[in-house]
Structure 1
């Protein structure tokens, strides 16, 4: 459930006022399980914020992501290796590249999941390559 800190604070306040979790869910138009999870998290941590989630950490920031996307769009003939080089030159961020076989059986250099970031960026770049090449 993606609740904001403000919604979580409302949930806790209404429960502390004596409303049941079911009534809080109806009042705020949230699911009952969502209200239960928010309140449980509040009881465990004493905070309204969500806990950090597990997963691979980010290596690039939103600015780097934007640079990669715009570079790919500006020059549609750049391979992933070229985009990686330009990112390295201008921003100082490194990515790993693997050779993979494309659908046509040709070898294409694409960014791998080992991008030292998150796989979403890799998937986005691969989609850009497929669409624009």
Structure 2
């Protein structure tokens, strides 16, 4: 999961021989190819199959709420607590680079999490309305 860390952490891991740039790229691509479609399928299944949303507005609001809650859980519990305040994600030899998720990275994630989730919800709801 080094591909989720800052470039400085990635470079240190390569320097320490823990991984390679090719492996980081490969893992990043695999993560995007497997997790993103799975994530989208899960959310769409919850909204349209389980909750029975009909049309754009119902789908959009349910998608927005679910995506926003998931984003908040990721920001506070995963990034804020688990990665930021435990040793569970510590990579030996990179302790001096903590916090692994920098303030700049957190700003990007918050921006994407608030604006991006609304855009994603709208796009997914529009796609589901077309069918």
1 or 2, which has the higher strand percentage?
1
Give the greater-gyration-radius structure (CA). Answer: 1
**Greater share of helix:** 2
Q: Shared fold (TM-score greater than 0.5)?
A: no
Which structure is richer in relative contact order (CA contacts within 8 A, separation 6 or more)?
Answer: 2
- Shorter chain as denominator, the TM-score bin is under 0.3
Q: TM-score, normalised by structure 2?
A: 0.26
